[in-house]
A = this chain, B = another copy of it.
Amino acid sequence: MTDIITLTGLVATTPRHIVTSEGLPITSFRLASNQRRFDRTTGAWVDGDTNWYTITSFRQLASNVASSIEKGQRVIVTGAVRVRDWESGERNGTTIEIDAESIGHDLAWGRATFTRQVIAEKPATPTESESAQPTSGPEPF
């Protein structure tokens, strides 16, 4: 199956936006997700290590991320994990990339105003449809 993960964390680099020669917008940034660890001795949660990810977005999401997300902000990301080995000359290594399906500012850390963007092209990957927009529903509480 597709390895899906949801992350919250800090945007650690200024998002880098490019458009390929085929016209595909791509935006990437590094995300630092600080892990909490349960200390058995003290019975409390303490700061643990930080996981680093490269978050990559495409198409409309990429364009909106480029114009919305800044370094230092808190975000929530969900998407597919891609573990890749790379080689560059004599160096090689492994990177963990998240092919983002959705990204948003984390409202646990601040406020946001939102402006809908018309989606010109049809979403290429399976995603929810525009067609089902309920205008009412059961009220909470």
Contacts and interface: CB of A to CB of B under 8 A. Distances in A.
Given A64-B110, A104-B112, A141-B16, A2 B73 contact: no
A112 B114 contact: yes
Contact of A111 (B4, B51, B114, B139): B114
Copies of this chain, complex-wide, total 4
A127 B106 CA distance: 12
Nearest to A83: B51
Given A64-B107, A129-B47, A140 B102 contact: no
A96 B93 contact: no
Interface in A60-114: 60-61, 64-65, 67-70, 72-76, 78, 80-84, 92-96, 101-114
B108 A105 contact: no
A135 to B, nearest CB: 8
A123 B8 CA distance: 15
A56 B43 CA distance: 23
Interface string A111-141: 1111111010001111111011111111111
Interface in A23-58: 28-30, 32-36, 38, 40, 43-45, 47, 49-57
